[in-house]
Amino acid sequence: MFSNAIVGVKELEAGRDAIRLARVLTSASGSLTLAHVRVVAPRPAPDSGAAGSAAKRRYALERLAALRDESQLDAELAYVEARDVRHGLHDLARARDADLLVIGASGADEIYRDLVGDEARELLDDPPCAVAVAPAGYCAHRAPLRTIGVAYDRAANSDHALAVARGLAADAHARLSAFHAVTGLHLGDPGQFEESVDDEAAHARERIERLGGVEAHAEYGDPVQGLGRYGATVDLLVLGSRGRGPVERLLGGGTAQRLADEPVCPLLVVPEDAGASLAVQ
């Protein structure tokens, strides 16, 4: 399990969901920090005085303390001022050498995300450590981790995600499975197309089975849609993250970011450049 988790809290319900997931993913001897980020302008307005800032800090810490007491947690509290939530939580994670950041899904609709942005998507952009996103309502979930799934495509980042998932599955005594989305352009006779994609899916399952100790799943189609269906069958979905280029940023992100919009199960996104210390202990 992870040993040093930071839980980002903005809305109370999403905070409760995130706390529940942090408890699932953090070892019994691990440390937790509940953190609130207040977004501030690079140049404060002339009338924004120290008294007002202190009052907001006090109010945020009181809310965090109430949430800590309600959840019966032994957790530290942190209040951060930053230009956005992403920078605030990323900088805090680096400063505290955290190996896990956890937030609750925003619950915002697609139009709001497109116009205003989405904190889950932003937090997954070049994270300093693993990031977990709890689906709405997860605070009521009390079942243990029974099945851990991995998005697997043989890339280096998915190999690392599989290694982290193996460690978690061993610690939780959970089943391990992996899913490969078969993609590509197929032209020609429709019958040959169906046979071709069926063969590719079968080959993908064979490759996963050769990894050992992993239940294999594969299907042809859009990766986000396929992983969404697959995610509904597991208790945790682990993905490796990739750096996003300008096109992905313009379109709203890659697979992990799109899945984090409305996750059907808890997501754990592992940075591709994370070292062995990120893997569970």
Over the stretch 32-46, which tens digit does the pLDDT of each residue have? 999 999 998 776 556
**Residue 191 confidence (pLDDT) above 80:** no
Instruction: Read off the pLDDT band of 111 (50, 70, 90).
Output: very low
Q: Which residues are CB-neighbours of 86 under 8 A, at least 6 positions away? A: 119, 122, 123, 125
Predicted pLDDT of residue 241: 81
Predicted pLDDT of residue 249: 40
CB atoms within 10 A of CB 17: 27
Kindly give the pairing relationship between strand 267-271 and strand 130-134: antiparallel
Four-residue CA torsion sign, 276, 239, 1, 8: positive
Predicted pLDDT of residue 190: 52
What does the block give as tokens for 59?
């109010």
Q: Which residues are CB-neighbours of 152 under 8 A, at least 6 positions away? A: 158, 161, 162, 178, 179, 180, 208
Which residues belong to CATH 3.40.50.620 in the chain?
A: 1-137, 143-281
Q: Are 54 and 143 in contact (CB under 8 A)?
A: no
Instruction: Report the chain's mean pLDDT, rounded to a whole number.
Output: 84
More confident residue, 253 or 124: 124
Specify burial of residue 63 (Cβ count, 10 A radius: 0-12, 13-18, 19+): middle
Distance CA 268, CA 149 (A): 10
What does the block give as tokens for 171?
């610690």
**Residue 193 confidence (pLDDT) above 90:** no
**Residue 120 confidence (pLDDT) above 90:** no
Buried b (16+ CB within 10 A) or exposed e, 243-273: ebeeebeeebbbbbbbbbbbbbbbbbbbbee
**Residue 276 confidence (pLDDT) above 60:** no
More confident residue, 101 or 143: 101
Q: Are 186 and 197 in contact (CB under 8 A)?
A: yes
Predicted pLDDT of residue 197: 78
Question: Which segment of 72-81, 84-93, 103-112 scores lowest on mean pLDDT?
Answer: 103-112
**Residue 64 confidence (pLDDT) above 90:** yes
The closest alpha carbon to 6, from 86, 74, 75, belongs to 75
**Residue 157 confidence (pLDDT) above 90:** no
More confident residue, 62 or 277: 62
Q: What is the pTM of this model?
A: 0.86
**Residue 17 confidence (pLDDT) above 60:** yes
In sequence order, the β-bridge partners of residue 39 are: 82
DSSP 137-196: TGGG------EEEEE--SSHHHHHHHHHHHHHHHHHT-EEEEEEEE-----S-HHHHHHH
More confident residue, 253 or 91: 91
What does the block give as tokens for 48?
């924004």
Question: Given strand 236-241, what is the order of strands in its sheet?
Answer: 75-82, 26-39, 2-8, 100-104, 130-134, 267-271, 236-241, 147-151, 175-182, 215-220
Kindly give the pairing relationship between strand 215-220 and strand 236-241: unpaired
**Residue 116 confidence (pLDDT) above 60:** no
Q: Are 68 and 77 in contact (CB under 8 A)?
A: yes
Instruction: Read off the pLDDT band of 253 (50, 70, 90).
Output: low
Predicted pLDDT of residue 164: 95
Topology of domain 143-281, per CATH?
Rossmann fold (3.40.50)
Predicted pLDDT of residue 107: 63
**Residue 135 confidence (pLDDT) above 90:** yes
What is the average per-residue pLDDT within 110-118? 42
Q: Which overall architecture, per CATH, does domain 1-137 show?
A: 3-Layer(aba) Sandwich (3.40)
